[in-house]
Amino acid sequence: MDPKALAKMVSAGTASVAAYEAYLEGLALDFDSSATGNVADWGRAKAAYDRAVELDSTFALAHWRLAGYWATQFSITQIGSELSELSLEEDFANYTAAIDAAIEHEQNEALALKFKASKAFNEFRFSDSRRYLESYVKEYPNDAEGLTQLIGIFSNAKDKEGARPHINRNIEIARDDAYEINGLLNNMLFLGFVDEAVSLARESVARFPQHAFILYQSHRVLLWAGFTEEAAALVEPIRRSEFPIDNVLLVLVRQACAEGDRTSAEQYLDQALALDTNDESIGYIGLQILGRPAEAHQLLVDAEMDNWAIASFLTYPYFDHTLFPEIASILEQQSIDRRFISGPPYACKPDQS
């Protein structure tokens, strides 16, 4: 191997060429999935990371990527969360094993802070997670992934002012990274940086016109800001992508409501729910878009889901956490004053019939 390539491999935390190649294969599959929308590639990426840690059990970054996969599986609002057939408790146990291994084997104490932040976040220790990440980004100010994690914590708490200093920095360093722009767009919109999100969405669509996740996030951003016709131009490219069909149908629900077509929106939601893939998440979001927030929240209350599943809804600015005493208590104990809105601005008008 080229000496520079070997140095990069060693700096990643392994001396095994085979383990490193498996890790790179996993990264490539992750990035491809983001571009095409084919979330099945995440499962194949997970298999590659599994091979990497089998070949080198001390490979911290491979354990970190495995932890990321398992975190998506118990966070039910995540696209692709249905890949695992295990229970949420088993998903979380697998996550814990992976993140603990990443923390244990990472020799760089500063880098380990990012891993510790993830564990704290998924154990609902949000204040600890923010503290770890704030220390981490001081050491690694050019790590877009770390900044996205930090902004995500502010987004869940709906702390716009806390996130503000980090937003422009993340835009600057993530502009060429479509994978990170996906998460950044979501966080910016849900924190209330709507104009900035529109600007980034337009730029990103122009630069990555076939990137499924960029199109998906940008469609929602444009609708949120009232650019209904501009958003409509993204619908067909999303439909042609390999995006999960239930999420494509949610795009159609959004667009129909923004255009005032409640009948079509209801039909699309019925089609999505008939797929029986993730009824609570799809049902909740769909009912919110249809302008039926009370029914949306009652759906979650009646489902009596684990806290991991409920906490994944904190990302949505219209999620009323006060209806879930355990989650509300967790936020209150950490002095997190999370505000929420009544619903997405493109929601269907209330049915007058």
Please give the angle made by the CA atoms of 336, 119 and 111, to the nearest 5 degrees: 110
Q: Give the C-alpha separation, 55 to 49, whole Å.
A: 10
pLDDT of amino acid 279: 73
Query: What length does the chain have?
Result: 353
Tokens of 13: 């935390």
- Quote the Cα angle for 218-76-133, to 5°: 75
Q: Which domain, by its residues, includes 62? A: 1-107
CA distance 259 to 232: 9
Q: Is residue 129 part of a domain?
A: no
Is residue 186 a contact partner of residue 219, using CB atoms and an 8 Å limit?
no
User: Could you give phi then psi for residue 159, rounded to 5 degrees?
Assistant: -100, 85
User: Is there a domain that residue 133 lies in?
Assistant: no
Tens-digit pLDDT string for the chain (353 aa): 665 665 564 556 688 889 999 999 999 999 999 999 999 999 999 999 999 999 999 999 999 999 999 999 999 999 888 888 899 999 999 999 999 999 999 999 999 999 999 999 999 999 999 999 999 999 999 999 999 999 999 999 999 999 999 999 999 998 888 989 999 999 999 999 999 999 999 999 999 999 999 999 999 999 999 999 999 999 999 999 999 999 999 999 999 999 999 999 999 999 999 987 667 899 999 999 999 999 999 999 999 889 999 999 999 999 999 999 999 999 999 999 999 999 999 999 977 55
- CB count, 10 Å around CB of 52? 27
- Residue appearing with tokens 């999505």: 272
Note whether residue 2 is domain-resident: yes
DSSP state at residue 209 = T
- Are 96 and 51 contacting, i.e. CB atoms less than 8 angstroms apart? no
Considering the domain boundaries, does residue 1 fall inside one? Answer: yes
Q: What's the confidence (pLDDT) of residue 140?
A: 93
How many whole angstroms separate alpha carbon 331 and alpha carbon 127? 9
Residues 48, 25: contact at Cβ < 8 Å?
yes
Number of domains in the chain: 1
Judged by phi (left if over 0) then psi (alpha if -120 to 50, else beta), residue 335 lies in left
Would you say the pTM of this structure is higher than 0.85?
A: yes
Note whether residue 92 is domain-resident: yes
272 inside domain: no
CA nearest 118: which of 105, 106, 104, 133?
A: 133
Inside any domain, residue 11 = yes
Task: Specify if 61 maps to a domain.
Answer: yes
Q: Which two tokens stand for residue 351?
A: 């049915």
Note every long-range contact of 11-17, with CB atoms under 8 Å and residues 24 or more positions apart, other chains counting: 12/59, 12/61, 13/58, 13/59, 13/60, 13/61, 13/105, 13/106, 13/107, 14/52, 14/56, 14/58, 14/59, 14/61, 14/62, 15/56, 16/55, 16/56, 16/59
Contact 103, 65 (CB under 8 A): no
